[in-house]
Chains A and B, each alone.
Chain A
Protein backbone atom coordinates (compact mmCIF):
# COMPACT_ATOMS: atom_id res chain seq x y z
CA UNK A 1 0.00 0.00 0.00
CA UNK A 2 1.26 3.50 -0.64
CA UNK A 3 0.19 6.88 0.39
CA UNK A 4 2.11 9.78 -0.95
CA UNK A 5 1.82 13.47 -0.65
CA UNK A 6 1.72 14.42 -4.28
CA UNK A 7 2.93 17.91 -3.96
CA UNK A 8 5.71 19.65 -5.73
CA UNK A 9 7.44 21.98 -3.36
CA UNK A 10 10.23 24.20 -4.58
CA UNK A 11 13.62 23.83 -2.93
CA UNK A 12 14.75 26.62 -0.68
CA UNK A 13 18.30 26.47 0.67
CA UNK A 14 17.57 26.47 4.39
CA UNK A 15 14.31 24.59 4.36
CA UNK A 16 14.36 21.24 6.05
CA UNK A 17 12.33 18.39 4.56
CA UNK A 18 11.43 15.28 6.47
CA UNK A 19 10.06 12.13 4.93
CA UNK A 20 8.26 10.10 7.54
CA UNK A 21 7.64 6.70 6.12
CA UNK A 22 5.33 4.25 7.69
CA UNK A 23 5.75 0.51 7.36
CA UNK A 24 5.13 -0.84 3.92
CA UNK A 25 2.41 -3.46 3.80
CA UNK A 26 4.05 -6.48 2.23
CA UNK A 27 3.83 -10.16 1.87
CA UNK A 28 7.33 -11.35 2.72
CA UNK A 29 8.35 -8.26 4.63
CA UNK A 30 7.50 -4.71 5.32
CA UNK A 31 9.55 -1.68 4.46
CA UNK A 32 9.51 1.97 5.19
CA UNK A 33 11.59 4.94 4.27
CA UNK A 34 12.56 8.02 6.27
CA UNK A 35 14.28 10.83 4.44
CA UNK A 36 15.24 14.18 5.85
CA UNK A 37 16.64 16.82 3.55
CA UNK A 38 17.79 20.39 4.00
CA UNK A 39 17.72 22.31 0.76
CA UNK A 40 19.52 20.11 -1.72
CA UNK A 41 21.32 18.08 0.93
CA UNK A 42 20.12 14.70 2.24
CA UNK A 43 20.65 14.67 5.98
CA UNK A 44 19.16 11.27 6.87
CA UNK A 45 18.00 8.12 5.06
CA UNK A 46 16.61 5.22 7.02
CA UNK A 47 15.27 2.11 5.34
CA UNK A 48 13.29 -0.18 7.59
CA UNK A 49 12.48 -3.83 7.03
CA UNK A 50 10.76 -6.40 9.21
CA UNK A 51 12.87 -9.55 9.07
CA UNK A 52 10.89 -12.82 9.03
CA UNK A 53 13.79 -15.33 9.32
CA UNK A 54 14.40 -14.47 12.96
CA UNK A 55 11.23 -16.38 13.84
CA UNK A 56 12.49 -19.40 11.92
CA UNK A 57 15.84 -19.41 13.71
CA UNK A 58 14.03 -19.88 17.01
CA UNK A 59 11.54 -22.31 15.51
CA UNK A 60 14.32 -24.61 14.26
CA UNK A 61 15.79 -25.19 17.71
CA UNK A 62 14.86 -28.63 19.02
CA UNK A 63 13.83 -29.91 15.57
CA UNK A 64 15.46 -32.82 13.77
CA UNK A 65 18.29 -31.78 11.47
CA UNK A 66 16.44 -33.54 8.66
CA UNK A 67 13.59 -31.03 8.99
CA UNK A 68 15.76 -28.00 8.25
CA UNK A 69 15.26 -27.99 4.44
CA UNK A 70 11.49 -28.37 4.75
CA UNK A 71 11.13 -25.71 7.43
CA UNK A 72 13.48 -23.15 5.91
CA UNK A 73 11.89 -23.47 2.47
CA UNK A 74 8.89 -21.75 4.04
CA UNK A 75 10.90 -18.61 4.68
CA UNK A 76 10.52 -17.46 1.10
CA UNK A 77 8.00 -18.42 -1.54
CA UNK A 78 10.16 -17.13 -4.37
CA UNK A 79 13.45 -18.81 -3.54
CA UNK A 80 12.71 -21.92 -1.48
CA UNK A 81 15.48 -23.89 -3.20
CA UNK A 82 18.15 -21.48 -2.01
CA UNK A 83 17.02 -21.90 1.59
CA UNK A 84 16.93 -25.67 1.22
CA UNK A 85 20.37 -25.76 -0.38
CA UNK A 86 22.04 -23.57 2.24
CA UNK A 87 20.39 -25.66 4.96
CA UNK A 88 21.43 -29.06 3.62
CA UNK A 89 24.93 -27.80 2.82
CA UNK A 90 25.35 -26.65 6.42
CA UNK A 91 24.00 -29.92 7.81
CA UNK A 92 26.22 -31.96 5.51
CA UNK A 93 29.18 -29.88 6.64
CA UNK A 94 28.37 -30.62 10.28
CA UNK A 95 27.89 -34.33 9.60
CA UNK A 96 30.87 -34.83 7.28
CA UNK A 97 28.73 -35.93 4.33
CA UNK A 98 30.45 -36.33 0.94
CA UNK A 99 28.05 -36.04 -1.97
CA UNK A 100 28.25 -37.85 -5.31
CA UNK A 101 28.75 -35.91 -8.53
CA UNK A 102 25.21 -36.88 -9.63
CA UNK A 103 23.68 -35.33 -6.52
CA UNK A 104 25.77 -32.19 -6.81
CA UNK A 105 24.86 -31.74 -10.48
CA UNK A 106 21.16 -32.24 -9.80
CA UNK A 107 21.28 -29.66 -7.03
CA UNK A 108 22.91 -27.23 -9.42
CA UNK A 109 20.19 -28.03 -11.97
CA UNK A 110 17.26 -27.42 -9.65
CA UNK A 111 18.93 -24.20 -8.55
CA UNK A 112 19.05 -23.12 -12.22
CA UNK A 113 15.28 -23.56 -12.30
CA UNK A 114 14.92 -21.18 -9.38
CA UNK A 115 17.21 -18.56 -10.91
CA UNK A 116 15.18 -18.68 -14.12
CA UNK A 117 11.75 -18.34 -12.50
CA UNK A 118 12.83 -15.74 -9.94
CA UNK A 119 14.72 -13.55 -12.40
CA UNK A 120 11.92 -13.81 -15.00
CA UNK A 121 9.39 -12.71 -12.41
CA UNK A 122 11.59 -9.82 -11.36
CA UNK A 123 12.49 -8.59 -14.84
CA UNK A 124 9.05 -8.69 -16.40
CA UNK A 125 6.62 -8.39 -13.49
CA UNK A 126 8.48 -6.13 -11.09
CA UNK A 127 11.27 -4.09 -12.58
CA UNK A 128 10.75 -3.48 -16.31
CA UNK A 129 7.58 -1.44 -15.65
CA UNK A 130 9.70 1.03 -13.65
CA UNK A 131 11.93 1.77 -16.64
CA UNK A 132 9.06 2.06 -19.09
CA UNK A 133 6.98 4.38 -16.93
CA UNK A 134 4.23 1.94 -16.00
CA UNK A 135 2.74 1.41 -12.56
CA UNK A 136 2.79 -2.36 -12.97
CA UNK A 137 3.10 -5.21 -15.42
CA UNK A 138 -0.64 -5.08 -16.12
CA UNK A 139 -0.27 -1.65 -17.68
CA UNK A 140 2.89 -2.79 -19.41
CA UNK A 141 1.13 -5.90 -20.78
CA UNK A 142 -1.32 -3.77 -22.70
CA UNK A 143 1.55 -2.20 -24.69
CA UNK A 144 4.08 -5.03 -24.59
CA UNK A 145 1.96 -8.20 -24.63
CA UNK A 146 4.56 -10.32 -26.41
CA UNK A 147 7.25 -9.42 -23.91
CA UNK A 148 5.10 -10.10 -20.87
CA UNK A 149 3.85 -13.35 -22.38
CA UNK A 150 7.44 -14.38 -23.07
CA UNK A 151 8.37 -13.54 -19.50
CA UNK A 152 5.57 -15.72 -18.18
CA UNK A 153 6.77 -18.55 -20.43
CA UNK A 154 10.28 -18.17 -19.09
CA UNK A 155 9.03 -18.27 -15.51
CA UNK A 156 6.98 -21.33 -16.32
CA UNK A 157 10.07 -23.13 -17.69
CA UNK A 158 11.93 -22.46 -14.46
CA UNK A 159 8.95 -23.55 -12.40
CA UNK A 160 8.67 -26.76 -14.39
CA UNK A 161 12.29 -27.63 -13.74
CA UNK A 162 11.78 -27.01 -10.02
CA UNK A 163 8.59 -29.04 -9.99
CA UNK A 164 10.15 -31.96 -11.86
CA UNK A 165 13.20 -32.21 -9.63
CA UNK A 166 11.72 -30.90 -6.40
CA UNK A 167 8.25 -32.39 -6.45
CA UNK A 168 6.54 -28.99 -6.52
CA UNK A 169 7.50 -25.34 -7.15
CA UNK A 170 6.52 -23.84 -3.83
CA UNK A 171 8.18 -25.58 -0.84
CA UNK A 172 9.83 -28.41 -2.83
CA UNK A 173 9.71 -31.80 -1.13
CA UNK A 174 12.44 -33.87 -2.82
CA UNK A 175 15.50 -32.23 -1.27
CA UNK A 176 16.99 -33.85 1.83
CA UNK A 177 20.21 -33.90 3.83
CA UNK A 178 22.53 -36.22 1.90
CA UNK A 179 20.86 -35.83 -1.47
CA UNK A 180 17.32 -36.33 -2.68
CA UNK A 181 14.44 -38.63 -1.91
CA UNK A 182 14.23 -39.70 -5.57
CA UNK A 183 16.47 -39.40 -8.61
CA UNK A 184 14.86 -38.60 -11.97
CA UNK A 185 14.91 -41.04 -14.86
CA UNK A 186 17.11 -39.90 -17.72
CA UNK A 187 14.43 -40.14 -20.48
CA UNK A 188 11.96 -38.13 -18.40
CA UNK A 189 14.54 -35.48 -17.58
CA UNK A 190 15.46 -35.15 -21.24
CA UNK A 191 11.84 -34.22 -22.01
CA UNK A 192 12.69 -30.87 -20.46
CA UNK A 193 15.31 -30.16 -23.13
CA UNK A 194 12.98 -28.67 -25.74
CA UNK A 195 11.18 -26.34 -23.29
CA UNK A 196 14.55 -25.28 -21.92
CA UNK A 197 15.89 -24.55 -25.41
CA UNK A 198 12.84 -22.37 -26.04
CA UNK A 199 13.43 -20.68 -22.69
CA UNK A 200 17.03 -20.04 -23.70
CA UNK A 201 15.87 -18.22 -26.83
CA UNK A 202 13.49 -16.10 -24.75
CA UNK A 203 16.28 -15.37 -22.29
CA UNK A 204 18.52 -14.19 -25.13
CA UNK A 205 15.73 -11.85 -26.27
CA UNK A 206 15.38 -10.68 -22.68
CA UNK A 207 19.03 -9.61 -22.61
CA UNK A 208 18.46 -7.48 -25.69
CA UNK A 209 15.21 -6.09 -24.25
CA UNK A 210 16.79 -5.22 -20.90
CA UNK A 211 19.82 -3.59 -22.48
CA UNK A 212 17.60 -1.15 -24.41
CA UNK A 213 15.85 0.19 -21.31
CA UNK A 214 16.59 3.78 -20.26
CA UNK A 215 19.06 3.77 -17.36
CA UNK A 216 19.61 6.61 -14.88
CA UNK A 217 23.17 7.82 -14.86
CA UNK A 218 24.23 6.69 -11.40
CA UNK A 219 27.03 4.50 -10.12
CA UNK A 220 28.93 3.78 -6.92
CA UNK A 221 32.08 1.98 -5.93
CA UNK A 222 30.61 -1.04 -4.17
CA UNK A 223 32.38 -3.84 -2.37
CA UNK A 224 30.87 -6.81 -4.18
CA UNK A 225 30.62 -10.10 -2.25
CA UNK A 226 29.70 -13.49 -3.68
CA UNK A 227 30.71 -17.11 -3.90
CA UNK A 228 33.55 -17.91 -6.24
CA UNK A 229 34.50 -21.18 -7.87
CA UNK A 230 37.63 -21.57 -10.00
CA UNK A 231 35.85 -23.88 -12.45
CA UNK A 232 32.36 -22.48 -12.98
CA UNK A 233 29.94 -19.62 -12.41
CA UNK A 234 29.01 -20.12 -8.76
CA UNK A 235 25.57 -21.15 -7.64
CA UNK A 236 25.69 -23.53 -4.69
CA UNK A 237 29.38 -24.19 -3.99
CA UNK A 238 32.55 -22.21 -3.53
CA UNK A 239 34.46 -19.82 -1.32
CA UNK A 240 33.32 -16.33 -0.33
CA UNK A 241 35.18 -13.53 -2.06
CA UNK A 242 34.92 -9.78 -2.53
CA UNK A 243 36.07 -7.12 -4.95
CA UNK A 244 38.30 -5.74 -2.19
CA UNK A 245 40.32 -8.92 -1.82
CA UNK A 246 38.33 -11.03 0.65
CA UNK A 247 38.78 -14.77 0.00
CA UNK A 248 37.51 -17.04 2.77
CA UNK A 249 35.94 -20.43 3.37
CA UNK A 250 32.23 -20.43 4.16
CA UNK A 251 33.02 -21.49 7.72
CA UNK A 252 34.91 -18.23 8.27
CA UNK A 253 31.91 -16.03 7.42
CA UNK A 254 31.22 -14.89 10.98
CA UNK A 255 34.86 -13.95 11.53
CA UNK A 256 34.52 -11.32 8.82
CA UNK A 257 30.84 -10.33 8.79
CA UNK A 258 28.57 -9.26 11.61
CA UNK A 259 25.02 -8.11 12.13
CA UNK A 260 24.16 -4.87 13.86
CA UNK A 261 21.00 -3.71 15.52
CA UNK A 262 19.80 -0.33 14.30
CA UNK A 263 17.34 1.61 16.46
CA UNK A 264 14.93 2.47 13.64
CA UNK A 265 14.40 -0.98 12.18
CA UNK A 266 13.41 -4.45 13.29
CA UNK A 267 15.92 -5.89 10.83
CA UNK A 268 19.60 -6.35 11.50
CA UNK A 269 22.14 -4.75 9.20
CA UNK A 270 25.06 -6.83 7.95
CA UNK A 271 28.51 -5.34 7.56
CA UNK A 272 32.01 -6.44 6.82
CA UNK A 273 33.87 -5.94 10.08
CA UNK A 274 36.83 -4.43 8.29
CA UNK A 275 35.06 -2.07 5.90
CA UNK A 276 31.33 -1.74 6.50
CA UNK A 277 28.64 -2.07 3.88
CA UNK A 278 28.79 -4.45 0.95
CA UNK A 279 26.58 -5.73 -1.85
CA UNK A 280 25.49 -9.26 -2.71
CA UNK A 281 23.43 -10.41 -5.68
CA UNK A 282 23.68 -10.77 -9.45
CA UNK A 283 25.88 -7.71 -9.98
CA UNK A 284 28.32 -8.99 -7.37
CA UNK A 285 28.34 -12.48 -8.89
CA UNK A 286 28.86 -11.17 -12.40
CA UNK A 287 31.54 -8.69 -11.38
CA UNK A 288 33.54 -11.38 -9.60
CA UNK A 289 32.82 -14.34 -11.86
CA UNK A 290 31.70 -13.09 -15.26
CA UNK A 291 34.77 -14.60 -16.90
CA UNK A 292 33.39 -18.05 -16.05
CA UNK A 293 30.20 -17.57 -18.01
CA UNK A 294 29.79 -19.88 -21.03
CA UNK A 295 30.64 -18.43 -24.45
CA UNK A 296 26.96 -17.99 -25.34
CA UNK A 297 26.46 -15.58 -22.44
CA UNK A 298 29.74 -13.75 -23.01
CA UNK A 299 28.70 -13.21 -26.63
CA UNK A 300 25.27 -11.91 -25.56
CA UNK A 301 26.90 -9.43 -23.17
CA UNK A 302 29.29 -8.22 -25.87
CA UNK A 303 26.45 -7.91 -28.35
CA UNK A 304 24.57 -5.44 -26.15
CA UNK A 305 27.71 -3.68 -24.97
CA UNK A 306 27.46 -4.73 -21.33
CA UNK A 307 30.83 -4.51 -19.55
CA UNK A 308 31.97 -5.68 -16.13
CA UNK A 309 32.19 -2.03 -15.01
CA UNK A 310 28.47 -1.60 -15.71
CA UNK A 311 27.81 -3.62 -12.56
CA UNK A 312 28.53 -0.42 -10.64
CA UNK A 313 25.31 1.13 -11.94
CA UNK A 314 22.65 -0.59 -9.81
CA UNK A 315 19.94 0.24 -12.34
CA UNK A 316 21.72 -2.02 -14.84
CA UNK A 317 21.29 -5.03 -12.55
CA UNK A 318 18.27 -5.90 -14.71
CA UNK A 319 20.68 -6.67 -17.56
CA UNK A 320 22.72 -8.90 -15.27
CA UNK A 321 19.61 -10.82 -14.27
CA UNK A 322 18.79 -11.33 -17.93
CA UNK A 323 22.33 -12.62 -18.55
CA UNK A 324 22.03 -14.95 -15.56
CA UNK A 325 18.74 -16.30 -16.92
CA UNK A 326 20.48 -17.04 -20.21
CA UNK A 327 23.28 -18.72 -18.29
CA UNK A 328 20.85 -20.79 -16.21
CA UNK A 329 19.04 -21.99 -19.34
CA UNK A 330 22.32 -22.92 -21.04
CA UNK A 331 23.63 -24.61 -17.90
CA UNK A 332 20.36 -26.52 -17.48
CA UNK A 333 20.65 -27.88 -21.02
CA UNK A 334 24.23 -28.98 -20.36
CA UNK A 335 23.36 -30.68 -17.07
CA UNK A 336 20.30 -32.41 -18.51
CA UNK A 337 22.31 -33.75 -21.47
CA UNK A 338 25.11 -35.01 -19.23
CA UNK A 339 22.86 -36.59 -16.60
CA UNK A 340 23.35 -40.28 -15.92
CA UNK A 341 21.30 -41.87 -13.16
CA UNK A 342 23.97 -43.51 -11.03
CA UNK A 343 24.57 -44.01 -7.36
CA UNK A 344 22.07 -43.60 -4.54
CA UNK A 345 19.55 -40.79 -4.34
CA UNK A 346 20.92 -40.07 -0.87
CA UNK A 347 24.30 -40.94 0.67
CA UNK A 348 24.38 -42.67 4.01
CA UNK A 349 25.63 -40.83 7.07
CA UNK A 350 25.50 -41.13 10.85
CA UNK A 351 24.27 -38.58 13.34
CA UNK A 352 26.91 -36.79 15.36
CA UNK A 353 27.23 -33.53 17.25
CA UNK A 354 28.77 -30.66 15.37
CA UNK A 355 28.51 -27.24 13.81
CA UNK A 356 28.08 -26.78 10.06
CA UNK A 357 28.13 -23.85 7.65
CA UNK A 358 26.40 -23.37 4.31
CA UNK A 359 26.35 -20.58 1.74
CA UNK A 360 24.64 -20.65 -1.64
CA UNK A 361 23.69 -17.98 -4.17
CA UNK A 362 19.99 -17.29 -3.92
CA UNK A 363 18.72 -15.30 -6.90
CA UNK A 364 19.08 -12.18 -4.73
CA UNK A 365 22.54 -13.01 -3.43
CA UNK A 366 24.55 -15.00 -0.93
CA UNK A 367 22.45 -16.82 1.66
CA UNK A 368 24.31 -17.99 4.76
CA UNK A 369 23.21 -20.69 7.21
CA UNK A 370 24.89 -22.04 10.33
CA UNK A 371 23.55 -24.87 12.50
CA UNK A 372 24.67 -26.62 15.64
CA UNK A 373 23.33 -30.15 16.20
CA UNK A 374 23.65 -32.51 19.15
CA UNK A 375 24.58 -36.21 19.19
CA UNK A 376 20.96 -37.19 18.52
CA UNK A 377 20.79 -34.98 15.46
CA UNK A 378 18.60 -32.29 17.01
CA UNK A 379 19.22 -28.65 16.12
CA UNK A 380 20.46 -26.65 19.10
CA UNK A 381 21.22 -23.37 17.33
CA UNK A 382 20.50 -21.79 13.97
CA UNK A 383 21.62 -18.64 12.21
CA UNK A 384 20.26 -17.49 8.85
CA UNK A 385 21.48 -14.38 7.07
CA UNK A 386 19.45 -13.68 3.92
CA UNK A 387 20.74 -11.57 1.03
CA UNK A 388 18.15 -8.83 1.52
CA UNK A 389 19.43 -8.26 5.06
CA UNK A 390 23.00 -8.09 3.81
CA UNK A 391 22.08 -5.46 1.25
CA UNK A 392 20.21 -3.11 3.57
CA UNK A 393 23.07 -0.70 4.17
CA UNK A 394 23.83 -0.62 0.48
CA UNK A 395 20.17 0.05 -0.27
CA UNK A 396 20.23 2.98 2.13
CA UNK A 397 23.34 4.40 0.55
CA UNK A 398 21.85 4.10 -2.92
CA UNK A 399 18.63 5.72 -1.75
CA UNK A 400 20.61 8.58 -0.26
CA UNK A 401 22.46 9.10 -3.50
CA UNK A 402 19.35 8.87 -5.64
CA UNK A 403 17.31 11.19 -3.43
CA UNK A 404 20.13 13.73 -3.51
CA UNK A 405 20.37 13.48 -7.29
CA UNK A 406 16.66 13.95 -7.90
CA UNK A 407 16.07 16.60 -5.27
CA UNK A 408 18.79 18.62 -6.90
CA UNK A 409 16.75 18.25 -10.10
CA UNK A 410 13.65 19.65 -8.33
CA UNK A 411 11.81 16.36 -8.58
CA UNK A 412 8.23 16.21 -7.38
CA UNK A 413 7.27 13.95 -4.51
CA UNK A 414 5.70 11.48 -6.93
CA UNK A 415 8.80 11.24 -9.09
CA UNK A 416 10.94 10.93 -6.00
CA UNK A 417 8.81 8.02 -4.78
CA UNK A 418 9.05 6.28 -8.15
CA UNK A 419 12.83 6.63 -8.24
CA UNK A 420 13.14 5.36 -4.68
CA UNK A 421 10.98 2.34 -5.47
CA UNK A 422 13.00 1.67 -8.59
CA UNK A 423 16.20 1.98 -6.57
CA UNK A 424 15.03 -0.56 -4.02
CA UNK A 425 13.86 -2.89 -6.81
CA UNK A 426 17.40 -2.88 -8.20
CA UNK A 427 18.07 -5.28 -5.32
CA UNK A 428 15.01 -7.41 -6.00
CA UNK A 429 14.21 -7.69 -2.30
CA UNK A 430 11.27 -9.77 -1.28
CA UNK A 431 9.45 -6.64 -0.18
CA UNK A 432 9.15 -5.40 -3.73
CA UNK A 433 6.52 -7.94 -4.75
CA UNK A 434 3.64 -5.52 -4.43
CA UNK A 435 3.06 -3.01 -7.15
CA UNK A 436 3.27 0.00 -4.90
CA UNK A 437 5.12 -0.99 -1.81
CA UNK A 438 6.82 2.19 -0.73
CA UNK A 439 4.99 4.59 1.50
CA UNK A 440 6.93 7.79 1.14
CA UNK A 441 5.74 10.87 2.90
CA UNK A 442 7.90 13.86 2.19
CA UNK A 443 7.75 16.55 4.79
CA UNK A 444 9.58 19.53 3.44
CA UNK A 445 9.57 21.85 6.43
Chain B
Protein backbone atom coordinates (compact mmCIF):
# COMPACT_ATOMS: atom_id res chain seq x y z
CA UNK B 1 0.00 0.00 0.00
CA UNK B 2 1.25 3.43 -0.88
CA UNK B 3 1.87 5.95 1.88
CA UNK B 4 0.38 9.43 1.62
CA UNK B 5 -1.45 11.32 -1.09
CA UNK B 6 -2.87 14.81 -1.36
CA UNK B 7 -5.85 15.03 -3.69
CA UNK B 8 -7.06 18.40 -4.91
CA UNK B 9 -10.64 18.12 -6.12
CA UNK B 10 -12.37 20.65 -8.30
CA UNK B 11 -13.04 22.17 -11.69
CA UNK B 12 -10.53 24.81 -12.69
CA UNK B 13 -13.10 26.40 -15.00
CA UNK B 14 -15.58 27.18 -12.24
CA UNK B 15 -14.39 30.05 -10.14
CA UNK B 16 -13.66 29.08 -6.54
CA UNK B 17 -14.04 25.40 -7.41
CA UNK B 18 -10.44 25.62 -8.61
CA UNK B 19 -9.29 25.75 -4.97
CA UNK B 20 -8.56 22.02 -4.78
CA UNK B 21 -6.57 21.70 -8.03
CA UNK B 22 -4.65 24.92 -7.36
CA UNK B 23 -3.68 23.70 -3.89
CA UNK B 24 -2.58 20.39 -5.42
CA UNK B 25 -0.51 22.16 -8.03
CA UNK B 26 1.26 24.29 -5.41
CA UNK B 27 2.01 21.22 -3.30
CA UNK B 28 3.27 19.27 -6.32
CA UNK B 29 6.03 21.85 -6.75
CA UNK B 30 7.46 21.35 -3.27
CA UNK B 31 10.97 19.90 -3.39
CA UNK B 32 11.66 16.61 -1.62
CA UNK B 33 8.05 16.09 -0.73
CA UNK B 34 7.09 12.87 1.04
CA UNK B 35 3.69 12.46 -0.57
CA UNK B 36 2.03 11.96 -3.94
CA UNK B 37 -0.18 14.68 -5.39
CA UNK B 38 -3.22 14.12 -7.58
CA UNK B 39 -5.64 16.53 -9.21
CA UNK B 40 -9.14 15.14 -9.43
CA UNK B 41 -11.80 16.80 -11.56
CA UNK B 42 -14.54 15.31 -9.40
CA UNK B 43 -14.65 11.79 -10.74
CA UNK B 44 -15.90 9.55 -7.95
CA UNK B 45 -14.38 6.38 -9.40
CA UNK B 46 -10.86 7.77 -9.35
CA UNK B 47 -11.33 9.01 -5.82
CA UNK B 48 -12.62 5.62 -4.64
CA UNK B 49 -9.58 4.03 -6.29
CA UNK B 50 -7.19 6.33 -4.43
CA UNK B 51 -8.86 5.60 -1.12
CA UNK B 52 -8.17 1.94 -1.73
CA UNK B 53 -4.45 2.18 -2.41
CA UNK B 54 -3.14 4.81 0.01
CA UNK B 55 -2.64 4.62 3.75
CA UNK B 56 -3.10 8.32 4.45
CA UNK B 57 -5.31 10.51 2.24
CA UNK B 58 -5.54 14.28 2.41
CA UNK B 59 -8.23 15.97 0.33
CA UNK B 60 -8.60 19.63 -0.55
CA UNK B 61 -11.93 20.83 -1.89
CA UNK B 62 -14.03 23.98 -2.02
CA UNK B 63 -17.08 23.99 0.23
CA UNK B 64 -20.04 26.26 -0.39
CA UNK B 65 -20.34 28.68 2.50
CA UNK B 66 -20.82 32.32 3.42
CA UNK B 67 -17.54 32.42 5.36
CA UNK B 68 -15.53 32.85 2.18
CA UNK B 69 -11.84 32.12 2.57
CA UNK B 70 -12.15 30.26 5.85
CA UNK B 71 -10.42 26.88 6.10
CA UNK B 72 -12.01 24.00 8.00
CA UNK B 73 -10.47 20.61 8.65
CA UNK B 74 -12.45 17.38 8.97
CA UNK B 75 -11.07 14.03 10.11
CA UNK B 76 -13.41 11.53 8.45
CA UNK B 77 -11.36 8.44 9.21
CA UNK B 78 -14.09 6.84 11.27
CA UNK B 79 -17.18 8.77 10.23
CA UNK B 80 -18.49 11.98 8.76
CA UNK B 81 -18.64 15.08 10.92
CA UNK B 82 -20.20 18.39 10.07
CA UNK B 83 -18.61 21.64 11.14
CA UNK B 84 -20.33 24.74 12.33
CA UNK B 85 -20.96 27.29 9.59
CA UNK B 86 -21.35 24.81 6.76
CA UNK B 87 -24.69 23.43 5.81
CA UNK B 88 -24.42 19.77 4.85
CA UNK B 89 -20.81 20.10 3.70
CA UNK B 90 -19.80 18.18 0.61
CA UNK B 91 -23.22 16.64 0.12
CA UNK B 92 -24.14 18.99 -2.68
CA UNK B 93 -21.41 19.14 -5.22
CA UNK B 94 -20.14 20.58 -8.43
CA UNK B 95 -18.43 17.27 -9.11
CA UNK B 96 -21.41 15.08 -10.08
CA UNK B 97 -21.37 13.31 -6.71
CA UNK B 98 -20.44 14.91 -3.44
CA UNK B 99 -17.13 14.20 -1.80
CA UNK B 100 -18.99 12.65 1.11
CA UNK B 101 -20.62 10.24 -1.34
CA UNK B 102 -17.28 9.05 -2.68
CA UNK B 103 -15.79 8.64 0.79
CA UNK B 104 -18.77 6.74 2.14
CA UNK B 105 -18.88 4.57 -0.98
CA UNK B 106 -15.26 3.58 -0.44
CA UNK B 107 -16.01 2.89 3.22
CA UNK B 108 -19.01 0.71 2.28
CA UNK B 109 -16.85 -1.25 -0.17
CA UNK B 110 -14.29 -1.95 2.55
CA UNK B 111 -11.51 -0.08 0.73
CA UNK B 112 -10.59 2.63 3.21
CA UNK B 113 -7.31 4.17 4.39
CA UNK B 114 -6.06 4.40 7.93
CA UNK B 115 -6.60 8.17 7.89
CA UNK B 116 -8.63 10.54 5.73
CA UNK B 117 -8.43 14.29 6.31
CA UNK B 118 -10.44 16.84 4.38
CA UNK B 119 -9.44 20.48 4.12
CA UNK B 120 -12.38 22.58 3.01
CA UNK B 121 -11.81 26.07 1.64
CA UNK B 122 -15.03 28.02 2.14
CA UNK B 123 -16.20 29.60 -1.11
CA UNK B 124 -19.27 31.02 -2.78
CA UNK B 125 -18.49 31.84 -6.42
CA UNK B 126 -18.72 28.86 -8.79
CA UNK B 127 -19.54 30.42 -12.15
CA UNK B 128 -17.90 29.21 -15.32
CA UNK B 129 -14.75 30.97 -16.54
CA UNK B 130 -14.45 33.24 -13.49
CA UNK B 131 -11.23 33.41 -11.45
CA UNK B 132 -11.03 32.44 -7.79
CA UNK B 133 -11.97 35.18 -5.37
CA UNK B 134 -9.14 36.81 -3.44
CA UNK B 135 -10.25 35.35 -0.11
CA UNK B 136 -10.24 31.84 -1.55
CA UNK B 137 -6.77 32.36 -3.01
CA UNK B 138 -5.59 33.23 0.50
CA UNK B 139 -7.42 30.23 1.89
CA UNK B 140 -5.64 27.97 -0.57
CA UNK B 141 -2.28 29.31 0.57
CA UNK B 142 -3.21 28.59 4.19
CA UNK B 143 -4.19 25.03 3.28
CA UNK B 144 -0.88 24.50 1.54
CA UNK B 145 0.97 25.64 4.67
CA UNK B 146 -1.18 23.41 6.89
CA UNK B 147 -0.53 20.35 4.73
CA UNK B 148 3.19 21.04 4.57
CA UNK B 149 3.23 21.14 8.36
CA UNK B 150 1.11 17.98 8.51
CA UNK B 151 3.09 15.72 6.20
CA UNK B 152 6.41 17.53 6.10
CA UNK B 153 9.19 17.11 3.62
CA UNK B 154 12.60 15.54 3.64
Give A contacts to B, CB under 8 Å.
Answer: 1, 25, 27, 74, 77-78, 121, 125, 136-139, 141-142, 145, 148-149, 152, 155-156, 159, 168-171, 433-435
Contact = CB atoms under 8 A, between A and B. Distances in A.
B92 interface: yes
B105 A137 contact: yes
Question: Mostly helix, strand, loop or mixed at chain B's interface?
Answer: loop
Interface string B40-75: 011111101100000000000000000000000000
Interface string B13-43: 1000000000000000000000000000111
Given A125-B97, A155-B45, A168-B41, A138 B105 contact: yes
B43 A170 contact: yes
Nearest to A77: B96
Interface core residue of B44, B49, B96, B110 (most chain A CB under 10 Å): B96
Nearest to A136: B101
Contacts of A156: 45-46, 49
B1 interface: no
Interface residues of B, number: 23
29 contacts: A25-B92, A27-B93, A77-B11, A77-B42, A77-B96, A121-B96, A125-B97, A138-B108, A139-B108, A141-B108, A142-B108, A145-B108, A148-B105, A148-B108, A148-B109, A149-B109, A152-B48, A152-B49, A155-B45, A156-B45, A156-B46, A156-B49, A159-B43, A159-B46, A168-B41, A170-B11, A170-B43, A433-B96, A434-B92
Contacts of B49: 152, 156
Given A159-B43, A170-B11, A27 B94 contact: yes
B104 interface: yes
Nearest to A145: B109
Contacts of B44: 125
B79 to A, nearest CB: 13
B29 to A, nearest CB: 20
Complex A-B, nearest 6 residue pairs according to Cβ-Cβ distance, in ascending order? A141-B108, A170-B41, A152-B45, A138-B104, A142-B108, A155-B45
Interface in B66-118: 92-97, 101, 104-105, 108-110
Contacts of A138: 101, 104-105, 108
Contacts of A78: 96
Contacts of B46: 156, 159
Contacts of B45: 152, 155-156, 159
A169 B13 contact: no
B53 to A, nearest CB: 13
Nearest to A78: B96
A1 B91 CA distance: 9
Contacts of B93: 27
Nearest to A28: B96
Contacts of A435: 101
Contacts of B128: 74
Contact of A74 (B13, B92, B105): B13
Nearest to B88: A1
B92 A1 contact: yes
Nearest to A126: B97
Nearest to B92: A25
Nearest to B105: A138
Contacts of A27: 92-94, 96
Contacts of B108: 138-139, 141-142, 145, 148
Given A74-B128, A121-B96, A142-B108, 4 more contacts: A77-B11, A138-B105, A145-B110, A156-B45
A332 B97 CA distance: 27
A192 B76 CA distance: 36
Contacts of A171: 13
Contacts of B11: 77, 170
Contacts of B101: 136, 138, 435
Max chain A Cβ within 10 angstroms of own Cβ: one of B41, B48, B92, B108: B108
A78 to B, nearest CB: 7
A287 B122 CA distance: 48
A25 B98 CA distance: 13
Contacts of A125: 44, 97
Nearest to A157: B45
A141 B109 contact: yes
B66 to A, nearest CB: 17
A204 to B, nearest CB: 20
A77 B108 CA distance: 25
B98 to A, nearest CB: 8
A57 to B, nearest CB: 14
A300 B8 CA distance: 41
A170 B21 CA distance: 14
B94 A141 contact: no
Contacts of A155: 45
Contacts of A145: 108-110
A27 B94 CA distance: 6
Contacts of B97: 125, 433
A63 to B, nearest CB: 12
A168 B13 CA distance: 14
A141 B96 contact: no
B41 A169 contact: yes
A431 to B, nearest CB: 12
